[in-house]
Structure 1
Amino acid sequence: MPAETDIAAEETHVQDDSSGAGRLEEEGDIAADYLEELLDIADIDGDIDIEVRNGRTYISIISDGESDALQELVGRDGEVLDALQELTRLSVLSATDNRSRLVLDIAGYREQRAVELTRMAKDAAERIEAGSTSVALEPMGPYERKIVHDAIAELGLESESEGEGPGRHIVVTAGQ
């Protein structure tokens, strides 16, 4: 018997009144339908929440209790989550002919990771302030690099992505 999921589409939070908000809501609904089917096939319980903010659709899958199954959907270092996000984006592309920039989070992984990345940016800033000319961070994907670039900019420092493919990483400097 497939798992029951609760799509919170009726509770979609729209914090962006731009003309693209309707398109983003549609994108969220398509993504939620796709993810609901996936959860049903895998017999995993989870609630799907859709939020539109800052010109992007954010989809979260959460569970009331401790769910090892949801953790498996995150995978090691978020690898499975990244793959599911890409598949969800492809589902939206297939239905709308528009590329999606939606962000998928499962069991709060991306939120927790953002806290870690912000701490990593602060640590790099402290090393620069202590006299290092540059600090190279671990390789990370584009979404995570953006979080770090934004955090570094807020700290008044400069950052640049270097490297190729899976080795792409951020180097933090004091700037000009």
Structure 2
Amino acid sequence: MDYITVTAKNLDDAITEALVQLEVTSDRLDYEVIEKGSDGFLGFGRKQAVIKARRKEEPVVEVKAEKKEEKPVKVEKAAKVEKTEHAEKKESVKTETKNEFKKEQDFKKAPKKEVREETELAKVEPATIEACEKFVEDVLNAMNMEEVKVTSTVDEEGALSITMEGKNMGILIGKRGQTLDSLQYLTNRVANKMQDGYVRVKLDTEDYRRRRKETLENLAKNIASKVKRTRRTVALEPMNPYERRIIHSALQSDPAVSTHSEGEEPYRKVVVTLARRSGGSHNYEKYDK
């Protein structure tokens, strides 16, 4: 069959148009690209895509006479199998949907006891403090930050608070505290492998945690004002659980707005909405740990 020439704004559209004109599927299309096409700059110098296309020659299939009678039977069986598989898949989808819905409901109805158990801190043992300090110092040495003073105390909440003092500590903090948060996470893992019970470790340098907390609290109040003024929902940027709790806490006493979190870690974020008049209470996220 002779080639036809097809022109379109891009290559995909040209191929689609050729399939329509030749009335074939993509596996039966034989084409050559004459011009790929381009958008140009701000619409100037735009070039359309051009292809030459034709149908592929259909292969000659020899069918033995004795198998012709079996063909309808095979098609019928295939149809039955396909129908059965479709029914099974449909039933499977229904079951999975019910299970997903049940899981979601179970998550929403999760008892508060689990959260309280997470926040009941164990007494920090001296061996745990020593192991955490050594781990932090080893990491700092690996980062060529040798002249850093590491100080540990157990704060009023019962958490192990580790403070680092030295030069160029901005490197340790990282963008929006990401480096500091990562080191804190790893140190928590070290602490909780050393003893029974839950131990919480807080890492800080240059008073970053306090300054970040004030920044987030001010951000929360500004977002709440915007929501009340525009009556539109506002989603904040993704934050770690600690920072999301700061936002929730900062707006907990404001009856005009409600907060909740959406998404999966590490892209989970706080969403601030206008509170319903009937409820007027906060949907404080108790599952941010």
- TM-score, normalised to structure 1's length? 0.73
Q: CA–CA distance in 1 between the matches of 2:186 and 2:121?
A: 22
Q: CA–CA distance in 2 between the matches of 1:37 and 1:71?
A: 18
Q: Corresponding residue for 1:35?
A: 136
Q: Corresponding residue for 2:238?
A: 139
Q: Which amino acid aligns with 1:115?
A: E
| Greater Rg by CA | 2
Q: Corresponding residue for 1:93?
A: 192
Q: Which amino acid aligns with 2:151?
A: I
Q: Does residue 118 in structure 1 map to residue 217 in structure 2?
A: yes
Worse-superposed segment, 155-164 or 96-105? 96-105
Q: Percent identity?
A: 31
Instruction: Name the Cα RMSD after superposition.
Output: 2.4
Q: Is the 8 A contact 1:62 1:108 kept in 2?
A: no
Q: CA–CA distance in 2 between the matches of 1:25 and 1:144?
A: 27
Q: Which amino acid aligns with 1:58?
A: S
Q: Corresponding residue for 2:124?
A: 24
Note the alpha carbon deviations across 1:82-138, whole angstroms, 9 max, x for none. 111111112112211444322211222222211111111011111122132321111
Higher RCO structure, 1 or 2 (CA under 8 Å, sep 6+)? 1
Q: CA–CA distance in 1 between the matches of 2:219 and 2:157?
A: 24
Q: CA–CA distance in 1 between the matches of 2:239 and 2:225?
A: 20
Query: Aligned-pair distance for 1:28?
Result: 4.4
Worse-superposed segment, 136-145 or 106-115? 106-115
Q: Corresponding residue for 2:258?
A: 158
- TM-score, normalised to structure 2's length? 0.47
- Gaps (5+ residues) in structure 1? 1-19
Query: Aligned-pair distance for 1:160?
Result: 0.1
Q: Is the 8 A contact 2:152 2:163 kept in 1?
A: yes
Secondary structure of the corresponding residue to residue 167 of structure 1: coil
Q: CA–CA distance in 2 between the matches of 1:155 and 1:57?
A: 32
- Gaps (5+ residues) in structure 2? 1-119, 277-289
Query: Aligned-pair distance for 1:35?
Result: 2.4
Query: Aligned-pair distance for 1:55?
Result: 4.1
- Out of 149, 153, 157, the position equivalent to 1:54 is 157
Q: State the number of aligned residues.
A: 153
